[in-house]
């Protein structure tokens, strides 16, 4: 696998995905990044004005454009860590700054905005509304993606929030989107979290734009809720919490426990926090919210119970390396006798992984599609 990215201005960057260990087979950039960077040589923008880069998954754009001190805006802790690690490998001291997808932009009007198309229309809509508030008529705005991910509905979002929009020819199956800022389109309000009632309860679940299964309860999560453990005291972790639905109900079922909600997405953690604050306002003191890559830096032997509905992709790639990392971290963080509960599609065969790692696993419940597995830390 080639890890050397050729810079359009000459030279190359050594780039790897994050986390490093499990992803030797996947490249840390795509044709759309190359297209975007080569296109820039033909554009003129006010180089004194800020440069913003949105959704740069592993840092290629931010590192290639260091001379402009770009601000990288991301919803992902993994992308932030990838940028730091790749900067380190190339002996680059990062000159710009990082913002999360929920941070306000307080700088002057940007001269150049580059966007890698996010995976969901909900996040695209949120980010275009955000950009419409901060771009000016002279801001150059170029988005990039695989051609197959750019639909007429995608372009309609650009037209609705930004202004006239056109696309480039495809190159290596990638395409660029040029959108020209029409200041009469400025959106006064960013899209608010989607709220839906949790069936069988009086609770409402809050979902910012980039949350997994944001429009309704995930079927795996539903199955876990039907089988959620009760009456545990001590520390419980909702690992990969999304909107926080599992952790919320774990707080209800385990009134003597304190909960930590962990996710690598800033919007997920903001959603989980809102979900708990709105539904259990008097219990917030026993909930803690952490944006983190799996359980990095969480203390050994510090949890009694970990609940996990693991992710099965990173960016566009279907992968189980994050699930594996979550299980490995869970084993380290559980105290002896502590339990990891995992809900997953049956065909993923996670029982083999858990048995290998913990030396034991039992099936708590199963149906035609899902299985809930429990592994106990024995030492």
The least CB distance from residue 187 to ligand SAM, in Å, is 26
Using CB under 6 A, pick the residue from 33, 240, 251, 375 that binds ligand SAM.
240
The least CB distance from residue 310 to ligand SAM, in Å, is 6
Cα 262 to Cα 265: distance, rounded to the nearest angstrom: 9
Is residue 251 involved in binding ligand SAM (CB under 6 A)? no
Contact string (CB under 6 A) for ligand SAM, positions 255-284, x = contact: -------xxxx--x----------------
Number of residues that bind ligand SAM (CB under 6 A): 20
* Integer Rg of the chain from CA: 22
Whether 364 and 278 have beta carbons less than 8 Å apart is answered as: no
The least CB distance from residue 103 to ligand SAM, in Å, is 18
Residue 26 or 147 with smaller CB distance to ligand SAM = 26
State the sign of the Cα–Cα–Cα–Cα dihedral 13, 17, 23, 27.
negative
Using CB under 6 A, pick the residue from 30, 34, 80, 218 that binds ligand SAM.
218
Is residue 225 involved in binding ligand SAM (CB under 6 A)? no
Residue in the block written with tokens 């026993």: 286
Cα 242 to Cα 286: distance, rounded to the nearest angstrom: 18
Is residue 322 involved in binding ligand SAM (CB under 6 A)? yes
Binding piece for ligand SAM, criterion CB under 6 A, among 55-63, 176-184, 211-219, 229-237: 211-219
Is residue 221 involved in binding ligand SAM (CB under 6 A)? yes
Residue 314 or 361 with smaller CB distance to ligand SAM = 314
Is residue 78 involved in binding ligand SAM (CB under 6 A)? yes
Is residue 101 involved in binding ligand SAM (CB under 6 A)? no
Whether 330 and 354 have beta carbons less than 8 Å apart is answered as: no
Short-list 91, 58, 52, CA closest to 72: 52
Using CB under 6 A, pick the residue from 242, 275, 372, 377 that binds ligand SAM.
242
Residue 159 or 296 with smaller CB distance to ligand SAM = 296
The least CB distance from residue 242 to ligand SAM, in Å, is 3
Residue in the block written with tokens 């940007």: 110
Give the 3-state secondary structure of residue 328: helix
The least CB distance from residue 72 to ligand SAM, in Å, is 18
| Concatenated DSSP letters of 187-232 | -SSPPPPEEEE-TTSS-EEEE-TT-TT-SS--HHHHHHHHT---S-
Using CB under 6 A, pick the residue from 213, 253, 302, 319 that binds ligand SAM.
213
The least CB distance from residue 307 to ligand SAM, in Å, is 8
- Dihedral, CA atoms, 224, 225, 229, 231, nearest 10 degrees? 170
Is residue 74 involved in binding ligand SAM (CB under 6 A)? no
Binding piece for ligand SAM, criterion CB under 6 A, among 90-98, 154-162, 187-195, 242-250: 242-250
The least CB distance from residue 127 to ligand SAM, in Å, is 17
> Could you check whether the bond before residue 236 is cis, i.e. omega within 30 degrees of 0?
no
Q: Pick out residues in 17-36 that bind ligand SAM (CB under 6 A).
A: none
Q: What are the backbone dihedrals phi and psi of residue 140, each rounded to the nearest 5 degrees, phi first?
A: -85, 125
Using CB under 6 A, pick the residue from 98, 260, 293, 361 that binds ligand SAM.
293
Whether 112 and 39 have beta carbons less than 8 Å apart is answered as: no
Cα 147 to Cα 169: distance, rounded to the nearest angstrom: 9
| Concatenated DSSP letters of 171-184 | BTTEEEEEE---GG
Burial of 321 (0-12, 13-18, 19+ CB in 10 A): middle
Using CB under 6 A, pick the residue from 128, 294, 330, 372 that binds ligand SAM.
294
Q: Token pair for residue 80? A: 């932030």
Cα 117 to Cα 56: distance, rounded to the nearest angstrom: 9
Residues that bind ligand SAM (CB under 6 A): 78, 212-213, 218, 221, 240-242, 245-246, 262-265, 268, 293-294, 309, 311, 322
């Amino acid at each position: 696998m080639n890890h050397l990215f050729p810079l359009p201005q000459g030279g190359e960057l050594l780039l790897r995905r994050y986390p490093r260990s499990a992803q030797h087979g996947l490249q840390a950039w795509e044709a759309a990044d190359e297209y975007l960077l080569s296109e820039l040589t033909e554009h003129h923008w006010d180089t004194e004005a800020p440069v913003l880069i949105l959704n740069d998954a592993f840092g290629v754009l931010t590192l290639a454009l260091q001379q402009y001190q770009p601000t990288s805006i991301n919803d992902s802790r993994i992308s932030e860590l990838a940028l730091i690690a790749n900067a380190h490998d190339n002996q680059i001291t990062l000159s710009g700054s990082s913002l999360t997808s929920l941070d306000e932009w307080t700088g002057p009007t940007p001269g150049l905005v580059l966007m890698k198309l996010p995976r969901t229309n909900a996040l695209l809509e949120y980010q275009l509304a955000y950009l419409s508030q901060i771009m000016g008529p002279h801001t150059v705005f170029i988005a990039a993606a695989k051609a197959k991910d750019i639909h007429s509905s995608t372009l309609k979002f650009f037209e609705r929030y930004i202004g006239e929009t056109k696309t480039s020819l495809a190159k290596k199956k990638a395409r660029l989107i040029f959108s020209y800022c029409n200041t009469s389109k400025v959106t006064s309000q960013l899209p608010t979290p989607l709220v839906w009632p949790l069936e069988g309860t009086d609770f409402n679940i809050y979902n910012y734009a980039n949350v997994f299964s944001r429009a309704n309860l995930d079927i795996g999560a539903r199955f876990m809720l039907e089988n959620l453990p009760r009456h545990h005291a001590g520390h419980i972790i909702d690992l990969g919490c999304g909107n926080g639905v599992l952790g919320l109900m774990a707080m209800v079922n385990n009134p003597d426990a304190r909960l930590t909600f962990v996710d690598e997405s800033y919007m997920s953690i903001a959603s989980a926090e809102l979900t708990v604050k709105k539904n259990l306002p008097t219990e917030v003191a026993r909930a803690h919210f952490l944006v983190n890559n799996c359980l990095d830096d969480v203390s050994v032997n510090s949890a009694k119970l970990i609940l996990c509905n693991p992710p099965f992709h990173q960016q566009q790639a279907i992968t189980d390396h994050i699930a594996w990392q979550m299980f490995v971290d869970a084993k380290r963080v559980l105290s002896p006798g502590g339990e990891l509960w995992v809900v997953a599609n049956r065909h993923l065969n996670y029982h083999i992984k858990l048995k290998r790692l913990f030396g034991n696993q039992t099936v708590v419940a199963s149906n035609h599609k899902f299985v809930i597995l429990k592994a106990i830390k024995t030492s």
